[in-house]
Structure 1
Amino acid sequence: MTTELDRDDFGRITHDPSARRLELEWFESTERMADQDFRRSLERLAELSEEHRPRHVMIDVTRFAFSPNPDTAQWRQDEIIPRYNAAGIEKFAFLLPPSAPSPGEPAPEPTADFPTGWFLARAALEEWLQQP
């Protein structure tokens, strides 16, 4: 059974203990988001990852409308990815809008101990997460 662990104006984080998965679902309201809101959400996801130690983390960006500052990617690599590594995450996935360009094959991000996949359909994402 999936449980909502956190919610704010911009998204919600749910936990599925049977699948050992955390999911961050962004809302359309992210168009009003500031960089500090974005970072706070990623810090919360990292905190919950450390607490629940999921095998998989997924972020639904199908309705995401915020453009992070250019330095945010480096901040995520330096501050957030190591926390995901410490939590023992095995796979990280993004669900993209169907209009997004073809995402390519899953691969580790810089500083990550796990592969990250980008998917245009939930079914493909779920299939990848189920693979060993």
Structure 2
Amino acid sequence: MNTRRRPIGRITREAHTVGRMGQTTVTSKIPKNEIGYALCRVRKSGRLVRGPVAEGTPTRVDIPIQCPPGSDFEVMVHTHPGGRAEPSALDRRTAERFGASAICIASDTELKCHPATRAGRTSRR
């Protein structure tokens, strides 16, 4: 098992589930207010780059879906301080609306990535 630590915004996680959707244990450094950002894929290289980081209130954050030129929006990432690492109905609707492939949410104790579309539904891309 790979136990190397990697930074993700303001949180650090054990890098043992890289490359697949799932649950990962995190060491909490999450602020009291939600923070969020978009991950965008650079067309030429396939690299993921982070968009601007936004800070909201303890219960919501408006994530700017801004990708650098030559890249496309792919993943919505944000925190649920004091909550669960599960997407709310609004999280799912927002991800579907903007065509995200996944939603990654960090609580105080875990990081989970979820497919953005529900089973049986298709994205409105």
Give the shorter-chain TM-score range: 0.3 to 0.5
Q: Larger % of strand: which?
A: 2
- The normalised TM-score by structure 1 is 0.32
- The normalised TM-score by structure 2 is 0.33
Work out which structure has the larger RCO, using CA pairs closer than 8 Å and 6 or more positions apart in sequence. 2
